[in-house]
Amino acid sequence: MELYTALRHFADSWGLLGMTLFFIGAVIFAFRPGSRKLADEAARIPLKDD
């Protein structure tokens, strides 16, 4: 049970911080300058005729 307690403590303290930082990074990555053009190109990929 000691391993479970240690992992639970880690998830309660650092896990939330890690997930929050990942979310903030994903939002910054999605809204960075120049990403609109790349997102539009990626959205058109399924509609292209090869």
C-alpha–C-alpha distance, residues 14 and 21, integer Å: 11
The amino acid sitting at 33 is P
C-alpha–C-alpha distance, residues 4 and 11, integer Å: 10
Ranges of each domain in the chain: 15-45
User: What's the pLDDT at 23?
Assistant: 97
C-alpha–C-alpha distance, residues 14 and 20, integer Å: 10
Going residue by residue through the chain, which has 50 residues, state the pLDDT in tens, using 9 for 90 and above: 799 998 888 888 898 899 999 999 999 998 999 888 888 999 999 998 86
